[in-house]
Structure 1
């Protein structure tokens, strides 16, 4: 059975297929992960960090090759693919450099005579279930901190990212991660459940849809396993005022169509004050007009990339058409290409009725949805009227005003005068139905740590 495959979304051509693992291979993977853990955890944190540091170096050394792999697999441009390799390398390097300091023992005061210390210890083999939209970045933020901590990794990647998934394992092993310490596995859904149930697996991290998160979270809970879930987002971008409305609109557009609009924390709801709304929408319309499909491996000016698959493009097209049927206005773009290619032209959508199904749906594609509001309170009420709570941003020339509104957003990450601050040292994660747990930054390394109390009486 060949489920995993590389398929060029620009053409629909299947480039290569890969067999799903057998149950015997899954057992071998788990045995190897457990055996490697017992060696890896006993090495010094400096030795583990040195190997992880080498992983980051190899990412940079092979940037062009790695970028081309994911551009072909999921359709992002070569330039954006190279940026992702750089970002992934920066996360891996961050934990190699700062990770040891983040997990040093911490002595705490005690009312009982003695020395009380909080230790940060590994727990065992972990399962990661990763998405296709950022094939390296998603892996880096899960694997790097846990490898430094002393855990081992079994990585089930998306079924369209087979080549890049294998490339990451090869780099890990070349860098000095022991065989079994980081393993890619082409697992089925049933095999994922088997691995979560297995006592050798001590935790699971998933980045994906609400539906996938509910399934994985239930399986983890049934077997009393810790899990981290980073799920969807319909992040608000609130624009209260601007000296340069066109400039803010351009920033909004660029972020919304980045990676084909397939970004969890993209600014999927642009909430704009009435007095600048018309100018803001006019600029978005101008930016959307005249774009044509392009080759992600050789993208030209005025061209847009395919989405990750024809099915993904068709889903976004259906969502836009449903919104229009409910009363929304398609201001520009929104054309699904003919043929097998996964092209959907970046779109501007306004007037989505708040009582419609469309208002509650995440559109995981290049669609800028804009809402008109008349006060800060109305903007805030609309921003929080959402089941998801990943991130959000507020723009104003009055920083204090923007900060007051941002402080009341029901999200895991707030931003003032920037859409999304993203760096290796900044934690990432959400609340509500966007999941729980954090990755990256100083807290990301603690999600799968045994924060053990060590007490020595005096």
Structure 2
């Protein structure tokens, strides 16, 4: 695996891949580790997870710099990501036992009926590069604590992150092989899912990746959870706080270089406030600092890879050719590295890439819409359904609209985020299943009914 620093275009490191033989050895070790790990008292597993949170905080600068070097995340955001990973460890260390408590059910006199939650075994996690620590920890924290063991197939451009995460669990005192990183190409994933020792799979990534994993897992009658991206609407109603909406919207679109499934991507603005919002929004976008991701003052770093930036620019060019108007940005930056400026498109025609495809980078599409019904229709005019953001000073109005938006989560007067305390996931082609909170923890357990007379 060739690690290319996206801020410079230079090779940072070469990492040797694992081969099919290495995978077989890992699966054998994983199975053996599970037999011991599943018997560990839940309190011991929680204590080890708390220790993992401590390891993350103790080494946060090292881990953040690895992240920034491999995929270009600005260092301040990388540090925040490590802190968030420590938080999810804290959360399940504190609440894991409660989440896994048995549920009692009505039963005849003299009998006792409950549902207990047992682990499944080795779980494969196929994870993306955009949040290379957080995506993994929001899988590992709940599911290792429930008694499963983890196998990570990380994105090929962040092998240092994959190795560092394995080291976190080792340094925290986890038994050997409870969590393993497999540095493998994607063409070995199907074989792993088909192996009888692997009991379930989860993937965060593109639609094609999710469909491939779901197809193989389904053929093997194995559970899968998919989180597959979004084209999130950012709905600005006529009574919104425009200053707040514009400031938050600029960040919702551009944090992490715009490379986020839950970024605000389609800005749907009521005609009564459209001009004011657009003026403020463009000003906020233009105020963001693009530069060296190792600089703490940088807001937007490079795109993670040169080819990803090229694909993004092709989407912008095709949208402009179809009639979209560039208000700021719109061209790759004249400097070393895969830098693309924060970009705003207006007058976006229906069916162009900025309208109908997920733009995975700092490109915002802004629409002027006459009424609330039109805003709702446009919000739902997508095959994806991950998140949505609604802006209004009337909280009850926002809640009513939220119930009508086809998405896995809707945030009112806030950007969309994932939080350990609440379930996260999508509908439609954004996938199925949930991560985080109790609902996420129970995705990979055997919900076993126990009837006692």
For the aligned pair, the TM-score class normalised by the smaller chain equals: over 0.9
Kept in 2: contact 1:292–1:345 (CA 8 A): no
Separation of aligned partners in 2, 1:43 and 1:427: 26
Aligned to 1:148: 145
- Provide closer, same or farther for how the CA distance between residues 291 and 42 of structure 1 changes in structure 2, counting only shifts above 3 A: closer
Paired with 1:138 and 1:291, the residues of 2 have a C-alpha distance of 25
Q: Which position in structure 2 is the counterpart of 1:211?
A: 208
Q: Distance in 2 between matches of 1:413 and 1:291?
A: 27
Residue among 236, 246, 262 paired with 1:265: 262
Structure 2 alignment gaps of length 5 or more: none
User: Hey, what does 1:255 align to over in structure 2?
Assistant: 252
Equivalent of residue 58 in structure 2, options 61, 73, 88: 61
Deviates further, 337-346 or 387-396:
337-346
Q: Deviations over 1:156-189 (max 9, x none)?
A: 1111111111111111012121111000001122
1:87 aligns with 2:94: no
Alignment of 1:203-242 (within 5 A): 203-242=200-239
* Mapped partners of 1:7, 1:179: distance in 2: 30
The residue aligned with 2:376 is 380
Alpha-carbon distance change, 91 to 290 in structure 1, aligned in 2, over 3 angstroms: closer
Equivalent position to 2:424, from 421, 428, 449: 428
Q: What are the Cα deviations for residues 54-93 of structure 1, in whole angstroms up to 9, with x where unaligned?
A: 0011101111111111011111111000000011110111
Aligned residue for 1:325? 321
| Equivalent residue runs for 1:354-433 within 5 Å | 354-433=350-429
Match of 2:345 in 1: 349
Is the aligned partner of 1:96 residue 2:93?
A: yes
Instruction: Map 1:156-305 to 2 at 5 A.
Output: 156-242=153-239, 244-289=241-286, 293-300=290-297, 304-305=300-301
Residues 188, 112 of structure 1: CA spacing in aligned structure 2 closer, same or farther, 3 A cutoff? farther
Structure-2 change in CA distance of 1:326 and 1:116 (3 Å): same
For 1:370 and 1:131, how far apart are their aligned partners in 2? 28
| 1:10-49 mapped onto 2 (5 Å cutoff) | 10-49=7-46
Q: What count of residue pairs does the alignment treat as equivalent?
A: 453
Deviations 1:203-246 (A, max 9, x none): 00100011111111111111111000000100111110346423
Distance of 1:307 and 1:152 partners within structure 2:
33
TM-aligned CA deviation for residue 361 of structure 1: 0.2
Q: Encode CA deviations 1:276-330: one digit per residue, 9 max, x unaligned.
A: 11111112222334766411011546x6311111111111111111111111111
Distance in 2 separating the partners of 1:87 and 1:300: 20
| Superposition deviation, residue 41 in structure 1 | 0.2
In 2, Cα distance between the equivalents of 1:440 and 1:280? 34
Distance (Å, rounded) in 1 between the aligned partners of 2:109 and 2:356: 53
Shift of 1:344: 0.4
**Residues 37-63 of structure 1 deviation map (CA, whole Å, 9 limit, x = unaligned):** 000001111111111110011101111
Please say if residues 127 and 205 of structure 2, whose CA atoms lie closer than 8 Å, have aligned partners that are also in contact: yes
Query: In 2, distance between residues paired with 1:243 and 1:452?
Result: 48
SS of 2:444's equivalent in the other structure is: coil
Q: Relative to 1, partners in 2 of residues 1:422 and 1:229: Cα closer, same or farther, differing over 3 Å?
A: closer
| Contact 1:393 1:417 (C-alpha < 8 Å) held by counterparts | yes
Q: Find the counterpart in structure 2 of residue 108 from structure 1.
A: 105
How far is 1:348 from its partner?
0.3
TM-aligned CA distance change 1:294 to 1:29, over 3 Å: same
C-alpha distance in 1 between matches for 2:385 and 2:378 = 13
Cα shift at 1:106? 1.8
Given the two structures, how large is their TM-score scaled by the length of structure 1? 0.96
Deviation at 1:441, TM superposition (A): 1.1
Call closer, same or farther: CA 1:221–1:422 in 2, change over 3 Å.
closer
> Would the aligned equivalents of 2:256 and 2:300 in 1 still touch at CA under 8 Å?
no
CA contact 1:5–1:162 (8 Å) conserved in 2: no
Given that 1:242 and 1:248 are in contact with CA atoms closer than 8 Å, whether structure 2 keeps it comes out as no
**Partner SS, residue 364 of structure 2:** strand
Could you tell me which of 71, 75, 84 is aligned with 2:72? 75
Instruction: Give TM-score scaled by structure 2 length.
Output: 0.97
